[in-house]
Amino acid sequence: MKLLENKVALITGASKGIGRAIAKEFAKQGAKVAFTYLSSVEKGQALEAELQAEGVSAKGYRSDASDYKQAEELVNQVLQDFGTIDILVNNAGITQDGLLLRMTEEQWDKVININLKSVFNLTKAVLKPMMKAKNGSIINITSVVGIRGNAGQANYASSKAGIIGFTKSVALELGSRNIRSNAVAPGFIETEMTHELANKEEWLNQIPLKRGGKAEEVAQTCVFLASDMSSYITGQVIQVDGGMLT
C-alpha cells in the first residue's frame, strides 16, 4: 500500500519549484491532490493535466493564499470536490530581497502577507474539518533562513521565523485533537529561484554534502510528515539542508 493512499492533500503554491515536487510526490504515494496557483496560470493548468493524465484525482485552483476570504472559499470548494482534507501543505511564498536600509514598507508587507499570513489563513480554514475528523497533518514550508537569518532578507527571514513559531503553537493547541503540525526548513534547493543567485558558489561551499538539494528531496520529507509513519511527531522543524546549519 502507498504511504498516502486515499488521503486528500491541499498544497498551496504548487505550480512550480518545491510545491510542484510535493504535489507530484504525494500523487505517487496515492494521495488525491488539490493545489493552488496564482500568477503561474499556465504552469498550474499544466500540472493539473499532467497529474490527471497519470490517473491521479487532482484539481488546481487559482487562489490567493494571502487573502483570508479566498482561503476560506478555497477550503470550502476543496471539501465540496474531495469530501475531506487530511493534509495541508502551506508552501506559497515569495522573496523581495534588499538591504534593510533600502527596503520599502511595500516589500516588507508583501512578503509577510504572502509567506506568513497565508499560513494563518489556510490553517484557520482547515481547522474545523480536521477537528471534526479528529485527524490531520499540517506541514509548513519554512527555511534555514528563518533559523539563522540572512543579510538582505530581513522580510523573508522574519516571515519564515514566524512560520516556525506558528507551527509549534498550533502543535501545542491541537495535539489533543490528533492534528499534527510540523515545519520543513529547506536549505539551498536547486529551483528557478536559486538559479538566479549571484553568490551560488558561496552557498554551496557552506554545505557539507557539497551540492544543492533537489526539490524532490524536500517533497519526500513532506511525504513522511504527511503519512502515518510520523504519527508521533509534531511541533518539529526538520532541516533539509545537506548539513548547512550543522
Average pLDDT, the chain: 95
Tell whether 3 is covered by a domain: no
pLDDT over 70 for what percent of the chain? 97
Annotated catalytic residue within 37, 68, 156, 232 = 156
Average pLDDT over residues 143-161: 97
- Domains held by the chain: number: 1
Please report whether residue 114 resides in a domain. yes
Mean pLDDT of 66-71: 98
pLDDT beyond 70 at 158: yes
Instruction: Check residue 197 and give its pLDDT.
Output: 64
91 is in an annotated binding site: yes
Tracing cell 488546481 back to the chain, one arrives at: 60
158 is in an annotated binding site: yes
In a domain, 1, yes or no: no
- Is 112 annotated as ligand-binding? no
Write down the residue that cell numbers 480554514 correspond to.
125
In whole angstroms, what is the distance from residue 57 CA to residue 78 CA?
A: 12
Confidence (pLDDT) at 38: 94
Let me know if 61 is a catalytic residue. Answer: no
Q: Do the domain assignments include residue 244?
A: no
Question: Burial code of 211-233, b = ≥16 C-beta within 10 A, e = fewer?
Answer: ebbebebbbbbbbebbbeebeee
Residue 136 grid cell: 490531520
Q: Tell me what the mean pLDDT of segment 75-95 comes to.
A: 97
Task: Give the domain CATH number at 122.
Answer: 3.40.50.720
Is the pLDDT assigned to residue 192 strictly greater than 80?
A: no
Which residue range forms the structural domain that includes residue 106? 8-239
Sign of the CA dihedral with 161 first, then 162, 163, and 165 last: positive
In a domain, residue 148? The reply is: yes
Q: Residue 221: name the closest of 208, 211, 236 by CA.
A: 236
- Measured CA to CA, the distance from residue 187 to residue 238 in angstroms comes to 11
Residue 246 covered by a domain: no
Residue 46 counted as an annotated binding residue: no
Query: Is residue 26 within 8 Å of 33, Cβ to Cβ?
Result: yes
Is residue 158 in some structural domain?
yes
